[in-house]
Amino acid sequence: MIPFDKGLDFLDFIKNFHHKLSEFYNNLSNESDKEKIKIILSYVAEHELKMAKAIQDYEEDVSPKISETWFQFVDTNQAVECLSLLTDSKFKSIDEIIESVVKLDECLICIYGRLSAYAPTDDVRTVFENLQELETGELKKLVHNIHRFETI
C-alpha cells in the first residue's frame, strides 16, 4: 500500500504503464515471425501509445485542485504485479494476445475504480470514473478491432 500520493502521481503511473505496454508489444512484434501476429502486436503497441498520450493530455487539462489532491491507501500493487508479468514470451495465437491485453488493461480499470472509491471530493471522483469509462471503452474497441484482424 502507498500511504499517500497525489492524483497527478497516479496519472503519471498510468501514463507510464501504457508506455511500458507499448514497448512490450512493440518488442514482441519485432520478434514475431508470424505476419498476422506482428501486425496485431504493432497495432496494440500503437494503441497503448495513444492511451499514454490521452492521459498526458488529460494531465494538462485537469485542474490543479484535482491533480494536487492527496489520496490515502490506494493500492497499485496489482498493476505493478501485472507489469512484472511482461516477459519476452512469444504469442502463438491471437487469443493469447487478447488475453494479455484484457488482463493488463483490467489492472488499470481496477486502479481507476479504487481511485474513484477513495476520492475525497465528487469532482475528483468524477475524473477517475471518467477515466475508468474511457479505459473500459477503449479496451472493448481494441478487442473488437483485434477480432477484425483475425478475419483478414
Domain ranges of the chain: 2-150
Q: What is the pLDDT of residue 137?
A: 95
Residue type, 59: E
Residue 62 confidence (pLDDT): 81
Which CATH architecture fits 2-150? Up-down Bundle (1.20)
Backbone angles phi, psi at 75, to 5 degrees: -85, 120
pLDDT reported for residue 58: 84
Say whether 149 sits in a helix, a strand or coil. Answer: helix
Q: Please tell me the predicted confidence (pLDDT) of residue 1.
A: 46
Q: Give per-residue pLDDT as tens, 72-115.
A: 766 666 666 777 766 656 777 888 888 888 888 888 898 888 88
Q: What type of residue is 38?
A: K
Name residue 47's amino acid: H
Cell 485542485 -> residue: 65
Categorise residue 28: left if φ over 0, alpha if ψ from -120 to 50, beta otherwise.
alpha
Average pLDDT, the chain: 84
Q: Which residues of the chain, if any, have pLDDT below 70?
A: 1-4, 73-80, 85-89
The pTM assigned to this predicted structure is: 0.84
Task: Give me Rg for the CA atoms of the chain.
Answer: 16
Neighbours of 114 (CB within 10 A): 19
